[in-house]
Chains A and B, each alone.
Chain A
Amino acid sequence: MADINAEYEWISNQNLKQFSGKWIAVFNKKIISSGEYAHEVAKKAKQQIKEPPFLIKVPLEGYISV
C-alpha cells in the first residue's frame, strides 16, 4: 500500500481549485480520477489500480493544507 500520510501531505500542497467541491482519487502522487460522487470516483480508480483507492473530498474553497 502507498504511504497514505505522504499522499495526504502531497495532495495538501496542490492547487485543487479545479476540483472544488468534488471527490478526487489519489495514487502515487497523481490524481487518477475525480467527480461529483464518491462511488463513481472509486469505480474509475479501481479500474486503474489494484490497491485500495484513496478518496478525498476537496472543499469548495479548493485548498487543503496540512
Chain B
Amino acid sequence: MAYKYNLSYNFTKYIVKGKTILRPIIPVELQYKNNDPIIYTMLLDSGADLTLLSKDVADSLGIDTNKEADDDVYGVTGHTPVIDEKVKIKFGMGSRNEFEKEIPVQITKIYGRPAIPALGRETIFREFDVHFRMGQPKDKQKFVLSKL
C-alpha cells in the first residue's frame, strides 16, 4: 500500500524494575482556540479510545476545567468524570510532513491523571497505519506512522 508519507520515531526507553520497557512517545504541539500553544510528549495509547489529558495539562492550555463534567471514562482502575473539548494537535514538526488537525479530547478533573497525555486510537488510527517495530534489532526498533 502506498502511503502519503511516513513519520518515524524512536521508542522512549524506561527502566522498570531492571527491565527495559519501550514506550511509543512523540512530541506534539497542542493549542486550544487561539491561546498560546504548548509542546508536550504524548503516549501513543492503542488501548485508549480517545485522547485524554489531565486537569493540569488542560489548565496550561487555557481550557476551563472547572465546568461540569460531560461524561465518564472507564479504565482498568475504575471510572472518572471528564470534560469534552476540542484542541488543535500538530506533530511531525521539523520534518517535511507536519500533521495538523482539530481533535476531540477528554479532560479528567484530576491533576496528574493521566500521568502523561495519551493519544487514543480515534485520533491517530483513522489517519495513520501504525507500525510498532519492537521485534527488530535494537538499531531498527522504531514505530512508524504511515499517513493514509
- List the interface of chain A (C-beta within 8 A of B): 1, 3-5, 7-8, 12, 36-43, 46, 52-57, 59, 61, 63-66
| Inter-subunit contact A52/B29 (CB<8 Å) | yes
Q: Tell whether A4 pairs with B93 under 8 Å between CB atoms, given A53-B38, A65-B13.
A: yes
- Closest beta carbon of chain B to A23's beta carbon, Å: 8
- List the interface of chain B (C-beta within 8 A of A): 10-16, 27, 29, 36-41, 54, 56-57, 59-60, 93-94, 111-112, 115-116
| Inter-subunit contact A38/B60 (CB<8 Å) | yes
| Inter-subunit contact A37/B56 (CB<8 Å) | yes
**How far is it, in angstroms, between the C-alpha of A40 and the C-alpha of B16 when the chains are bound?**
28
Find the B residue at minimum CB distance from A66.
B10
| Inter-subunit contact B40/A39 (CB<8 Å) | no
CB pairs A–B below 8 angstroms (16 shown): A1-B93, A4-B93, A4-B94, A38-B59, A39-B57, A39-B60, A41-B60, A53-B38, A54-B39, A55-B60, A56-B41, A61-B15, A63-B14, A64-B12, A64-B13, A66-B13
| Inter-subunit contact B112/A37 (CB<8 Å) | yes
Contact of A52 among B39, B56, B57 (CB under 8 A): B39
Contacts of B13 in A (CB 8 A): 64-66
Find the A residue at minimum CB distance from B29.
A52
- Closest beta carbon of chain A to B102's beta carbon, Å: 17
| Inter-subunit contact A66/B12 (CB<8 Å) | yes
In addition to A38-B56, A38-B57, 8 A-B residue pairs with Cβ atoms within 8 Å of each other are: A4-B94, A37-B111, A38-B60, A39-B60, A52-B39, A54-B27, A54-B40, A66-B12
- Closest beta carbon of chain B to A28's beta carbon, Å: 13
**How far is it, in angstroms, between the C-alpha of A21 and the C-alpha of B14 when the chains are bound?**
13
- Closest beta carbon of chain A to B98's beta carbon, Å: 11
Contacts of A54 in B (CB 8 A): 27, 39-40
| Inter-subunit contact A42/B39 (CB<8 Å) | no
Find the B residue at minimum CB distance from A41.
B60
